[in-house]
Amino acid sequence: MKYEFSYYTQNDFDDIEKMIINSYSWDYPIYGVSRLEFCSGLHPKFLGIERTMERGSGLFRLNGQIVSCALNEVNAAGDAFFIFDSKERSQDKELIEHMIFFAQTGMSHKEQNGKSRFVNLRVPQWNTVLEECVKNHGFEKQGWSESNLIKTFDSENLDTVLPEGYRYADGNETPVFFLSNTHMHSFNYGFDRIKEAEAAFQGIRNRKLYKPEFELCIIDPWGRPVAMAILWYTESMPYCELEPLGVVWWERRKKLGSKLLDEAFRRLHAAHPECTAMLGGDQMFYQKIGYEKKCENFIYSWKVDIYPSWEKESESLDYRKSL
Tell me the per-residue pLDDT of 20-62, one tens digit each, with 9 for 90 and over.
999 999 999 999 999 999 999 999 999 999 999 999 999 999 9
Read off the pLDDT of residues 247-292 as tens digits, 9 standing for 90 and up: 999 999 999 999 999 999 999 999 999 999 999 999 999 999 999 9
Please compute the mean of the pLDDT values over residues 237-242 and round it to a whole number. 98
Q: How far is CA 293 from CA 70, 212, 240, 255, 283, in A?
A: 25, 29, 16, 22, 11
What domains sit in the chain, N to C, each tagged with a CATH number? 4-147+296-322 (3.40.630.30), 154-275 (3.40.630.30)
| Structure confidence at residue 68 (pLDDT) | 98
Q: How confident is the model at residue 221 (pLDDT cuts 50, 70, 90)?
A: very high
14-25, pLDDT tens digit by residue? 999 999 999 999
What letter does residue 107 receive in the DSSP assignment? S
Q: What percentage of residues in the chain have a pLDDT greater than 70? A: 99
- Closest Cα partner for 191 from 201, 200, 179, 180? 180
**Minimal CA–CA distance to 319: which of 310, 115, 307?**
307
pLDDT digits (tens, 9 = 90+) for 139-160: 999 999 999 999 999 999 999 9
* Predicted pLDDT at 319: 67
Q: How high is the pLDDT of residue 130?
A: 98
pLDDT at 309: 76
Tell whether the model's pLDDT for residue 312 goes beyond 90: no
Write the CB contacts of 95 (distance below 8 Å, at least 6 apart in sequence): 3, 60, 67, 68, 89
* pTM summary value: 0.95
